[in-house]
Amino acid sequence: MTLPTLFIPHGAGPCFFMEWSRGAPDQWDRTAAWLKGVVSDLPERPKAILVISGHWEEEAFTIGSGEWPELIYDYYGFPEHTYRLRFDAPGAPALARRVRELLTAAGLPAAEDPRRGYDHGVFVPLKLVTPEADIPVVQLSLQQDLDPAAHLAVGRALAPLRDEGVLIVGSGMSWHNMRGFTPAFTAKSAAFDAWLGEAMADPAGRDQAIRHWDQAPYAREAHPREEHLAPLFVAAGAAEGEPGRVAFRDTVMDVVVSGFEFGG
């Protein structure tokens, strides 16, 4: 069984585990409900999850290889209890080695970091995706240059994992302008999201669209810096030539946000 690949919106900090004071208090509920159904919607339960988060960048692609990663509470100004959230999923050192082997075989420099913990781009959404924390998780960094072609290439190199029971998940946000979560950006976010949905649905033109994503409508207003979009490049690259679809779409914090599935 070949698993699909996913790009998920991981929300704003620990937004799913606190009372939200800005805007409608239930505005993250639909995102949370979708994340809770991710595993049950798969053709089979994954043996492990490989997450590429927008919150970890290294000079070369780096794999977290620890047996029991700690949590990195890399968000600021949130309620005290959100710094006591737990997500005790085990790591998977053997999978980390397999990831490195695949990247190296593809000519992509790669490293391992046994001390790296799960950042909030991993543990916040996965607390909803796998609340029992019973599926091993490995995290893969972005490359600091955020080069779309390099991240597509990483995805292509990782594609065999889909036949090995590994769910490849890009965790970011389809809109990530920290000053652009206001009604003034609603229409612009809808235009960018519409372009993104069409581009991801076209297997023949998707790689080219990704390489030139910054030419999309309002692209640099959506992503002044594309670290939260780059996980999408990896997820798409791992399903090269296969269809993509919008698996989730909602308006939160006044902007349109989407999740995607490839190869399902």
The set of residues, in sequence order, having a beta carbon less than 8 Å from that of 242 and lying 6+ positions away, is: 203, 262, 263
Cα–Cα separations (whole angstroms), residue 68 to 29, 96, 125: 30, 13, 18
How much is the pLDDT for 20? 85
How much is the pLDDT for 243? 93
Q: Is the pLDDT of residue 25 over 90?
A: no
Q: Is the pLDDT of residue 28 over 90?
A: yes
Domains and CATH numbers, the chain: 5-262 (3.40.830.10)
Q: Could you tell me where the DSSP H helices lie in the chain?
A: 29-36, 93-105, 120-129, 148-158, 186-201, 206-211, 219-222, 230-237
Count of all residues that appear for the chain in the document: 264
The conformation of residue 27, written as its DSSP 8-state character, comes to: T
Q: Is the pLDDT of residue 21 over 90?
A: no
How much is the pLDDT for 6? 98
> What pLDDT, in 10s, does the model give residues 142-201?
999 999 999 999 999 999 999 999 999 999 999 999 888 999 999 999 999 999 999 999
Q: Is the pLDDT of residue 263 over 90?
A: yes
How much is the pLDDT for 232? 98
The set of residues, in sequence order, having a beta carbon less than 8 Å from that of 96 and lying 6+ positions away, is: 63, 64, 65, 112, 138
The conformation of residue 24, written as its DSSP 8-state character, comes to: -
> What pLDDT, in 10s, does the model give residues 45-60?
999 999 999 999 999 9
**Mean pLDDT of the chain, nearest integer:** 97
Q: Is the pLDDT of residue 24 over 90?
A: no
How much is the pLDDT for 175? 96
Where residue 2 falls among pLDDT bands split at 50, 70, 90?
Answer: very high
> What pLDDT, in 10s, does the model give residues 88-144?
999 999 999 999 999 999 999 999 999 999 999 999 999 999 999 999 999 999 999
Spatial separation of the C-alpha atoms in residues 84 and 98, rounded to whole Å: 32
Residue identified by tokens 């890399």 is 74
Mean pLDDT of 55-66: 98
How much is the pLDDT for 178? 87
Q: Is the pTM of this model over 0.85?
A: yes
Q: What are the respective helix, strand and coil percentages of the chain, to the nearest 5?
A: 35, 20, 40
How much is the pLDDT for 71? 98
